[in-house]
């Protein structure tokens, strides 16, 4: 009889110790971006009308960006920088940042955003570039990589 009593008690203990582990919701991009970031890569690729890569360049790295929730400032080692505003938006499963400076807004896709890294990507059509003279590409793809400071 004693064994029959222990069986329901053990069953109750096992069932009460099993809790549904709820996954934490993913942090919002607008919260994850807050803080100080430094550029670790800046690449631009230029393509002709057939989609063939015709030229690529790498820009200086080390520009520091500070995002505070609505305002963004940047500074580079050469004493230059910018100040403006930003907004994060999500559409069709993609995340975008809209940077505004002097009433000009630029849209970039955020392709990576986590605790330590962020990557932006933008594409433009009919873009001039300089390679032994001024030339024109049908399309350019810019990618900027960041590391959290």
Full pLDDT tens readout for the chain, 149 residues? 455 455 454 445 555 555 556 677 767 888 999 999 999 999 999 999 999 999 999 987 899 999 999 999 999 877 788 899 999 999 999 999 999 999 999 999 999 999 999 999 999 999 999 999 999 999 999 999 999 99
* Closest among 88, 79, 82, 93 to 120, alpha carbons compared: 88
How far is Cα 141 from Cα 63, in angstroms, rounded to an integer? Answer: 20
SS3 call for 24: coil
Domains annotated for the chain, with CATH where assigned, are 27-148 (2.40.128)
């Amino acid at each position: 009889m004693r064994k029959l009593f222990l069986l329901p008690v053990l069953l109750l203990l096992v069932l009460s110790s099993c809790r549904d582990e709820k996954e934490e919701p993913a942090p919002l991009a607008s919260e994850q971006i807050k803080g100080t970031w430094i550029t670790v890569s800046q690449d631009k690729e230029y393509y002709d009308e057939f989609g063939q890569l015709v030229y690529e360049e790498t820009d200086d790295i080390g520009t520091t960006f500070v995002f505070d929730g609505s305002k963004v400032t940047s500074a580079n080692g050469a004493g230059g920088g910018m100040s403006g505003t930003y907004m994060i938006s999500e559409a069709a499963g993609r995340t975008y940042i809209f940077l505004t400076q002097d009433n000009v807004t630029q849209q970039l896709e955020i392709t990576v955003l986590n605790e330590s890294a962020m990557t932006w990507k933008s594409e433009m059509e009919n873009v001039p570039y300089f390679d032994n003279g001024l030339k024109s590409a049908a399309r350019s793809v810019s990618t900027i990589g960041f590391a959290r400071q």
